[in-house]
A and B are shown apart, each in its own frame.
Chain A
Amino acid sequence: MSVKFLEDHLPKLMLAPSFIAMLIFVYGFIGWTAWVSLTRSRLLPKYELDGIIQYERLFASLRWDTAFSNLFIFGGLFIVIAMILGLILAIFLDQNIRSEGAIRTIYLYPMALSMIVTGTAWKWILNPGLGLEAMVRGWGFENFTFDWLVNPDMAIYTVVLAAIWQSSGFVMALFLAGLRSVDGEIIKAAQIDGIPNWRIYSAIIIPSMAPIFLSAFIVLAHLAIKSFDLVIALTGGGPGFSTDLPATYMFAMAFSRGDIGQAASSAMVMMGVVFAIVVPYLYSELRVKND
């Protein structure tokens, strides 16, 4: 009897530890953070609910204001440019290029690096004193200025630059796989009809890659929201708070400001942004699978 029971339920039993872990460490923890975001917690968590006071504080905070709008500046530019660049590179590489493999390897390797490494490298290259600016000045262009890294109005764009450097090769790989999966017969037929190459791409191939655009968008949006390491390594959120993102704001509140209520509410807002992007995607993906 008990052996039979064990045999019947073994698969479920094997899944149980992961299931419980997930309920606690993902959903339970989200619940905890959501709860605490509705309290007056400061240095230590309190559990008496007190309405949306933390969210009011959050959206009244200038620092959060910068961090939140940076997310859209950074995220928007990063996603759009990485997608365009990735698509262009993929189309270029799709033209029977000699040593395509080697070129692909070069374009994609930054994706293997930690964002801390990427940030460290770009911080050195972009530092005005000894980096790019000093180099061009050394060539005789005495008035050349490239001080984005230390310029509060421009520093966020250095984060965009480094993030694109890191991720555009990956978008290229996604798109290249997509280009290769388009039905060759249709393309051949179009070529025989004398349709120029650019029309074949713009009217046939690219429209058929819509799902890949969607996944590339999801991945990049997800990367953008999670970008924490890159900002820490490249600018440390500075100058001032000019390159803060929600992720760095949350971290500062949680671990250096001792303001758990703010940390929790900012984390919940991040969660909301991810939710708004990912849930419709996952829903459509899973539904298609089940049909």
Chain B
Amino acid sequence: MSGTERAIAFRLNGEAVSADAPVRMHAADFLRHRLGWTGTHVGCEQGVCGMCTILVDGAAIKSCLMLAVQLDGAEVTTVEALAEGDRLNAAQESFKRHHALQCGYCTPGFLMLAESLKASGRTLSRAEVREELVGVLCRCTGYENILRAVEEYLNADEPEASR
């Protein structure tokens, strides 16, 4: 039974992917080590730090708590989908403007959470945005600039304009 693999097919950032996945491998490791998409970071591997947050069928989830084989048939979005070439998207621009990162390790997690909040269409107070962001930890900056960046991104009138 050791090394059991299973064939899966899903869409990653708009493109079809077919690959074999070891059943014991979590989705974050699969994206990084099997597919080479290293934008998704891995931290605690126990669902606490939120580094590995990606979108699966539009919902922000922690990819260390999902098996790679569970991506089968899903629409998966990672941080690599945000920029177009060298052009940052509005969320990334907002992080840059507000100096919402230092080492950057947590940034993909925050960006993907911000994307899912934007897509939800909910109107959120600052307190609610703060509450929505608790599932990603940052050990450098304190959270104030991250909060400002996400809030500005969510409140921007034309979210797609800078894309």
Chain A complexes with chain B? no
